[in-house]
């Protein structure tokens, strides 16, 4: 396995569009933040110490022989170019921070890309499990297995009162961030999202855009995650998040049905216009592409479009990001060139689907 | 239009402030606006993340400025022996330097954790096998005791005996310090 493989393999397992509630819930993600006992946190450690952390983890890899870590690959950030790192970010396998300025940053990836373990990001070790659809419990189960395996070989920084010690006190305790990526065009169209966000916040949960903190809700995709990591058990955190997510799913469907009732023609028009744009345009910006893909996806969910699979759309959401487009082109592209390539890629992919 | 503050440079930034329905317009140059510091420039601070906001959250009400100054000076006397982090530096960066910062700033940290984690300050989740040491065993014994109680209530004595033996084994481990 090599970096080329991770980059050429455009579809990660999490994009397969399967799993419970996969019409609304794109992915479930679990992240566990862990630190080694006798090292400074990445905020303060020297380049030398960061190297020691990386060596430590590297030395451990041959010992990780049990499921689900049988086949893992270590990707060191200083051996990748900017474009390669960007592609990993777009596939949600590493964070922008790791790509940008980590000292001796690295990432341990499982073959199917469901598990990625970031080294020397904000914490020494960040275990991430990404699954398609609403499968938080399953993802936590996998993350816990990985965590237990790693703990057999290292001493974690842990304290009886505060739990797992993390660089930032917002993660201390369980070190668990559970996130669900949801496609909510109905709630956006009926302008309910702005009311929903504050009430979700009151429940100790956060709503963000698709690429995490500070990013925009491109293509009506929102990420909902727990804010509180201390004082609640991992199971309680998931229980609360699951409850809210299920509520949002039913509200999203109610919103879509109410639009269908009051303005079905307009809705169908929106869906098919967007399909028209995707299949015919010669220049398309990422924002417009994301919006059109969102409309078409909703059209599939609501039964207006039958001959296109949802997987295609998950795939296109990722493939049309700047990093991926440039990866395919084999070098840097100017924004205009990207818009042209994006339009071509979407067009060709949808035609391929039609002729299937 | 000239900047309302310095009356020298041209006003390039225009703000509308609405307080209790009363609308005020403010026209400033970039330099004065920054000095006034009332506004957050999203384009100039793309890294406005939760960590940056932490510093604000940690700080006490500014009307107690003097008191706060004293507290900070007092807090500054405490320093992490491992990494040299002081509490006021932590308030600025929002992150700790090493695991030892947690016991070092234990007292100051509790109110902050309460604000960040919905009133919680004490961990009640997973316990790692190695680092958790005896705690892991104690927790296991607690769970087994609950199971034992249920089994006795259900009159499943054979299973209960197995669980009792398991509890004894763990208790022995605890006594022998073999964890």
Q: Is pLDDT at A176 greater than 70 in this prediction?
A: yes
Q: Which of B83, B103, B128 sits opposite A44 (nearest CB)?
A: B83
How far apart are the C-alpha atoms of A30 and A27, rounded to whole Å? 10
pLDDT tens by residue, A75-122:
999 999 888 898 899 888 999 889 987 789 999 999 888 999 999 999
Smallest CA–CA distance from A201 into chain B, residue: B118
Per-position DSSP letters for A187-244, written without gaps between them: HHHTT-HHHHHHHHHHTTEEEEBTTBTT---GGGEEEEEE---SSS-HHHHHHHHHHH
CA atoms within 13 A on the CB side of A31: 25
pLDDT per position as a tens digit, A223-247: 999 999 999 999 999 999 999 999 9
Q: Choose among B125, B136, B98, B2: nearest CA to A37.
A: B98
* pLDDT of B26: 74
pLDDT score of B61 more than 50: no
Q: Look at A52-56, A259-263, A306-310 and tell me which has the smallest mean pLDDT.
A: A306-310
Tell me whether residues A162 and B93 touch, CB distance under 8 A.
no
pLDDT band at B43 (very low <50, low <70, confident <90, very high): very low
> B56 in contact with A at a CB cutoff of 8 Å?
no
Residue B60 has what pLDDT?
Answer: 42
Per residue in A54-63, pLDDT (tens digit) is 998 888 888 8
User: pTM to 2 decimals?
Assistant: 0.78
| pLDDT tier for residue B75 given thresholds of 50, 70 and 90 | low
Q: Does B125 touch chain A (CB under 8 A)?
A: yes
Q: Which of A163, A167, A227 shows the shortest C-beta gap to B125? A: A163
ipTM value, please give it: 0.84
Q: Contact, B153 vs B163, CB < 8 A? A: no
Of the two residues A256 and A348, the one the predictor is more confident about is: A256
Residue B98 to chain A, least CA–CA distance (Å): 4
């Amino acid at each position: 396995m090599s970096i080329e493989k991770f980059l050429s393999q455009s579809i990660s397992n999490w994009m397969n569009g399967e799993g419970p509630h996969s019409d609304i819930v794109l992915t479930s993600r679990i992240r566990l933040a862990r630190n080694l006992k006798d090292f400074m946190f990445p905020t303060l450690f020297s380049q030398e110490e960061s190297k020691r952390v990386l060596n430590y983890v590297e030395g451990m890899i041959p010992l990780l022989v049990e499921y689900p870590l049988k086949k893992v690959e270590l990707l060191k950030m200083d051996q990748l170019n900017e474009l390669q790192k960007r592609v990993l970010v777009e596939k949600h396998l590493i964070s922008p921070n790791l790509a940008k300025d980590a000292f001796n940053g690295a990432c341990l990836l499982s073959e199917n890309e469901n598990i990625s373990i970031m080294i020397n990001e904000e914490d020494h070790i960040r275990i991430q499990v990404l699954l398609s659809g609403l499968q938080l419990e399953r993802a936590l189960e996998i993350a816990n297995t990985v965590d237990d395996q790693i703990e057999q070989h290292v001493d974690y920084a842990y304290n009886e009162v505060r739990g797992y010690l993390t660089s930032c006190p917002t993660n201390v305790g369980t070190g668990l961030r559970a996130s669900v990526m949801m496609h909510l065009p109905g709630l956006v169209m009926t302008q309910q999202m702005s009311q929903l966000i504050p009430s979700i916040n009151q429940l100790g949960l956060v709503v963000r855009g698709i690429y995490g903190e500070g990013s925009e809700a491109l293509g009506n995709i929102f990420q909902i995650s727990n804010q509180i990591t201390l004082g609640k058990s991992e199971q309680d955190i998931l229980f609360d998040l699951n409850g809210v997510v299920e509520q949002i799913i039913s509200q999203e469907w109610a919103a879509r049905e109410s639009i269908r009732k009051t303005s079905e023609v307009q809705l169908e028009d929106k869906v098919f216009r967007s399909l028209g744009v995707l299949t015919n345009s010669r220049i398309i910006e990422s924002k417009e592409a994301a919006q059109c893909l969102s409309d078409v996806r909703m059209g599939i969910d609501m039964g207006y479009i039958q001959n296109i699979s949802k997987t295609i759309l998950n795939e296109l959401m990722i493939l049309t990001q700047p990093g991926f487009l440039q990866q395919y082109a084999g070098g840097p592209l100017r924004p205009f060139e990207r818009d042209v390539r994006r339009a071509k890629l979407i067009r060709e992919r949808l035609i391929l689907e039609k002729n299937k | 239009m000239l900047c309302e503050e310095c009356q020298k440079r041209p006003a390039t930034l225009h703000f509308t402030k609405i307080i209790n329905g009363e609308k005020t317009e403010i026209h400033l140059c970039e330099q004065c606006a920054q000095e006034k510091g009332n506004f957050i420039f999203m384009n100039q601070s793309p890294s406005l993340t939760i960590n940056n906001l932490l510093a604000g959250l940690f700080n006490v009400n500014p009307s107690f400025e003097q008191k706060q100054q004293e507290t900070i000076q007092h807090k500054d006397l405490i320093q992490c022996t491992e990494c040299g982090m002081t509490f006021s530096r932590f308030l600025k960066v929002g992150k700790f330097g090493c695991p030892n910062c947690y016991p070092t700033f234990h007292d100051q940290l509790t109110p902050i954790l309460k604000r960040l984690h919905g009133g919680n300050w004490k961990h009640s989740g997973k316990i790692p096998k190695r680092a958790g040491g005896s705690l892991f065993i104690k927790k296991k014994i607690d769970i087994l005791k609950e199971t034992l109680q249920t089994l006795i209530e259900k009159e499943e004595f054979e299973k209960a005996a197995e669980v009792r033996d398991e509890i004894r084994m763990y208790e022995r481990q605890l006594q022998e310090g073999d964890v």
